[in-house]
Structure 1
Amino acid sequence: MPRTDKASRVVAAAPERVFAALLDPGALAAWLPPEGMAGRFERFDARPGGSYRLVLTYPDGWAASGKATADTDIVEARFLQIVPGVRVVQAVDFVSDDPAYAGTMTMTWEVARAEGGTRVEIRADDVPDGISAADHAAGLASSLANLAAHVER
């Protein structure tokens, strides 16, 4: 059954700085992986119609299991829309043999000036059934906290 998950946070940085961190592969690799994971891009082309392949790895002995391998999630994503300074929309697929992770999730990241900095909103539509709502909420919150730490330095 299709599900939508949302998260938001105000970060103490200018919208331009926050938006830039949504499209820079070095910045994304630093802040996007939720706590307890590391990420690296195998390819990255930030333009409408462009795509990326992100490999997320759990540390040794991590309690969770990966979607692609025992310790790895692989994300294939396409940029559907980039509105400079405002919004990035991506179609995201997990590489997995498990049908619970099948289907394309649409991730929308929006930034807007707010008191104290920039409000960042994430909306994930059509979240695969294999991703629990609680785990996804924790992951989104963790990524937002990482983003705040990254852009507030």
Structure 2
Amino acid sequence: MESNSVSLHRVIKADPEKVFRAFADPVAHSGWLPPYGFVCTVQQMDFKAGGTFKMTFINFSTGNSHSFGGTYLEIKPNEFIKYTDRFDDPDLPGETTTTIQLNKVSCGTELHVVQEGIPAAIPEEICYLGWQESLEKLIKLVEPEIPDA
């Protein structure tokens, strides 16, 4: 069984604590993670090493959905997240591993994302495009500094 991997790098004008919180908070995560044209529901999210999660992406145009879930392998607050996930769909077999590295830099956070073991049925370039869209949404969430009213 062939599998794909993608690697992305961004510098975000927000501190690592704020970027990390966007991964740790289920409401925030469901807002930025799905690529354009999809919405996400989080059925379960126990954000700690050994904790599990379950989410569903819903195609807004068609209403079709696909669910996936996994386990958080390692979490270092504001620095590192590593988790596995697998699709519920038997046509998308295998387990992916995603590693998120956050490094504090002078203007905010350097973010590295590596996802490995993507099912062969998902073209690598489509996965990469999806991640690019997700990261655009992440940036739009964490970069604004909105004062309390």
TM-score by structure 1 length?
Answer: 0.89
Contact map agreement 1:6 1:123 (CA 8 A) in 2: yes
Residue 29 (structure 1) shift: 0.7
SS at match of 1:130: coil
1:109 and 2:110 are equivalent in the alignment: no
> Counterpart in 1 of 2:65?
72
> Counterpart in 1 of 2:9?
8
Residue 51 (structure 1) shift: 0.7
SS at match of 1:126: strand
Structure 2, unaligned runs of 5 or more? 145-149
> Counterpart in 2 of 1:46?
47
Larger relative strand fraction: 2
Aligned AA (2:7): K
Q: Give the alignment of 1:1-153 within 5 angstroms.
A: 1-61=2-62, 71-98=64-91, 101-153=92-144
Structure 1, unaligned runs of 5 or more? 62-69
SS at match of 2:61: coil
4+ long deviations beyond 3 Å: none
Give the root-mean-square deviation of aligned CA atoms. 1.2
State the distance in 2 between where 1:2 and 1:37 align: 24
TM-score by structure 2 length?
Answer: 0.91
Aligned AA (2:99): T
State the distance in 2 between where 1:120 and 1:145 align: 12
What is the identity percentage for the equivalent residue pairs of Structure 1 and Structure 2? 26
Aligned AA (1:149): K
Aligned residues: 143
State the distance in 2 between where 1:95 and 1:8 align: 28
